[in-house]
Amino acid sequence: MVIALRDKWIWDFWIYRDGDDYHAYFLQADNTLAHPDMRHRHVSQGHAVSKDLINWTHLGTTFAPADAPAWDDWTTWTGSTLRDDTGHWHLFYTGTEHAEEGMKQRLGHATSADGHNWSRVGNGLAVDLSGPDYEEYSPGHWHDRAFRDPWVMKNPKGEGWIMYFVARRPGVAEPNAGGTIGFATSPDLYTWTLQPPVYAGGMFGQMEVPQVFEVNGKWYMLFCTDGTHWSEAYKRLNPEKPVRGTHYLMADDPFGPWEVAPGPFFDGAQGSRYAGKIVQTDHGLVFMGFLHDAPDGSFIGQVSDPIPVRIDADGLLHTELDKLPPGAKV
């Protein structure tokens, strides 16, 4: 059974496994809001829990924009959730404010004792754009200041914590070659130092909702993008028709160098799944994405059932739609 609500749209989501429980956090908005801009500007975060990624118990709204005036008083968008070494919960998220008409994104931090009731750390602001490595808001060149979707994890190579996020590189003439994956480090999850991007390969205009994970010594970074944001360089590398969907980078080290996975786009079902995530279960890898458009073009606004994933001899990821159980909605 998909993650769905009777009265709300659901789109970007992230999953945190805590013992036998899978916690899904997701963006939600009233389903009377038909226009995507209206959905994105009237957003909160929902929370559901499952033991099998199929049967979900909804726990209601878990996080929402701050009272004005605040840097995150308009939207609280996509992020990630984790527990620290003491068991305390941390939520990292994207915020925008009314005073800037939502054009400038920043990264926020909240904590919780139970994974549902959150309190901002100070005013919530964790990381803001600064320095020469990240593109400021550039009207006429790109539609926003891309600085969002933080994916936070324990540093697998030493002490502290690391963060990946959506960003753009300044000074790139082709807008669709400017997308990067930003990077920041922290000793304690509270104090962050902005680092140069961990990937700036010039392949896409934006690489949304990154997710980083390791399987059998190989590192993967999922991201999603639209076919209109493929660069000329990536079109030469991948001659298939540009599609909207989820693809990934590969590396031997979480700090890079990262390269775009060769071959076909991983999950490019035009108009269907977007902002996908890989979930590592006791029975292997599965892939889930939010369901974007129905065949008639209407918005679906649900999260798919899990799709089995295999890794081939070259380390490439493949969805196995033929192994879905009857009735699965993907």
Q: Give the number of other Cβ atoms within 10 Å of residue 264's Cβ.
A: 13
pLDDT at position 274 is 96
pLDDT over 80 at 270, yes or no: no
Cα dihedral across residues 267, 157, 196, 108: positive or negative: positive
CA distance 297 to 232: 27
CATH architecture of 8-323: 5 Propeller (2.115)
pLDDT at position 221 is 99
pLDDT at position 34 is 85
pLDDT at position 112 is 99
Question: Do residues 245 and 269 make contact, with C-beta atoms less than 8 angstroms apart?
Answer: yes
Mean local confidence (pLDDT), 220-242: 96
Amino acid (1-letter code) at residue 15:
I
2-46 pLDDT per residue, tens = 999 999 999 999 999 999 999 999 999 999 998 888 999 999 999
**Mean pLDDT in the chain?**
97
CA gyration radius for the chain?
18
Instruction: Say whether pTM exceeds 0.95.
Output: yes
Residue partners of 213: CB distance under 8 A and separation at least 6: 219, 220, 278, 280
pLDDT over 70 at 150, yes or no: yes
Q: What is the DSSP letter of 206?
A: -
CA angle 100, 148, 36 (to 5 degrees): 70
Question: Do residues 273 and 289 make contact, with C-beta atoms less than 8 angstroms apart?
Answer: yes
Q: How far is CA 307 from CA 129, 233, 296, in A?
A: 36, 30, 24
